[in-house]
Amino acid sequence: MKKRKLGNDNLEVSAIGLGCMGMSHGYGPAADKKDMVNLIHKAVDMGITFFDTAEVYGPFINEELVGEALFPLRDKVIIATKFGIYTDAGGQQAQDSRPETIKRSVEGSLKRLKTDHIDLYYQHRVDINVPIEEVAGTVKELIREGKVKYFGLSEPGIKTIRRAHAVQPVTAVQSEYSLWWRKPEEELIPTLEELGIGLVPFSPLGRGYLTGKMDENTKLDKSDFRNILPRFTVEARKANHAIVDLLVEIAGRKKATPAQIALAWLLSKKPWIVPIPGTTKLSRLEENIGAINIELSPEELKEIDDASLKIEIEGNRYPEALEKRSGL
C-alpha cells in the first residue's frame, strides 16, 4: 500500500482510507456488526491504515464498531473522528461546538473507540454560534493533554481555515470532492496548498453514483438519506448519466472500473489528497484499493478534466437547509 502525508505535521496514512459511516448510518439499515468488524480487519490486512468515523454516525454506534474492530490493531492505524453535530430530541441534527461540549465529546469518543487518543479530530461542521478561535483553542488544549494528536475541519470556508490555523495548525480538511463536485478546486485546494494542509475527500464516488452501478431505476431503502438529496431524484440520476458514461469510456481503455478511474483522478490531483470511499462489501473494498495502481497520463487527465467540466450536473448536492452548514 502506498502512503501519503497529510499536512505539514507529516501525518502519514494509506493513500486511500476507509469511510466507515455507511456501515452503520445513512445508507439504509446498519450492516451486521460482525461482518463489518471482519471487513475492517480485511482493510488493515490489505494495507489501509486510515479510518474515518464520527460521534453522530448512528449516533455513536459507528464509533463503537470502529473501536471494537481496531482495538487489537490500534498501533497500526490512524483513527479520525468528529465532534460538533448531535441528534436532538426530535431526531434532527443540530450543531454545538462550545468548548465544554467538545470536552465532553472527546471523552465519549475515546471510550467508544477504546483508545487513549484520537489521531485526527475534526470539527464536523462550522458552528456559527462559536468563534472558530475558541474551537481551535479547545482542540489545542486536548492536544496538549495527549487526548488528540491532530486537528481537522470538515467543510469549512477559506476564512475559517485561516482563523483556525492561526490558533492551532490544521492538519487536514475534509470536504466533498469528486468528478461531480469540483468546487473545492476554486479556492479550497489553493488555500490548503499555501498553508500546507492535507485534503481528505469524502464521497469521492458521488455517494455511489460514480461507480456506474446506479441509475434512475435503482431503488433506495426508505431510510437511505440519499432520498432527500436533489442530486438523487429519479430525474437527476437519469440526467447525470453523462458523467458515468465518461468514466465508463476511460475505464474501458484502462482495463479498470469507473470507480477506480474516479479515485485515480482524485489521487492524481495532489500528493496530499487522501480519499476515503466507504463500502460494506469486500469486493468493493478490493476494487477501491486497486485504484492506487492506476496511472493516468497528463493527456488522460486533461481529457477527463475537460470533458467533465462540460457536463452540467443536475441537482444540488444537499437540500438548501443542509447546504447552509457547509462553508464551501
Q: Which residues are catalytic?
A: 57
| CA distance linking residue 123 with residue 241, whole number of Å | 34
- Contacts of residue 160, defined as CB under 8 A and 6 or more positions apart, other chains included, come to 126, 132, 153, 327
- Contacts of residue 9, defined as CB under 8 A and 6 or more positions apart, other chains included, come to 150, 169, 171
Within 10 Å of residue 263's Cβ, how many Cβ atoms?
29
| CA distance linking residue 294 with residue 256, whole number of Å | 8
Output the CA–CA distances (angstroms, integers) from residue 264 to 147, 254, 295, in the order listed: 34, 11, 7
- Amino acid identity of 210? L
8-state DSSP, 237: H
CA-atom Rg of the chain in angstroms: 19
| CA distance linking residue 14 with residue 231, whole number of Å | 30
| CA distance linking residue 97 with residue 40, whole number of Å | 30
One-character DSSP codes across 65-98 = HHHHHHGGGGGG-EEEEEESEEE-TTS-EEE---
Output the CA–CA distances (angstroms, integers) from residue 96 to 21, 61, 85, 253, in the order listed: 20, 20, 6, 48
- Contacts of residue 16, defined as CB under 8 A and 6 or more positions apart, other chains included, come to 48, 50, 263, 267, 274, 275, 276, 277, 288, 289, 291, 292
| CA distance linking residue 288 with residue 301, whole number of Å | 19
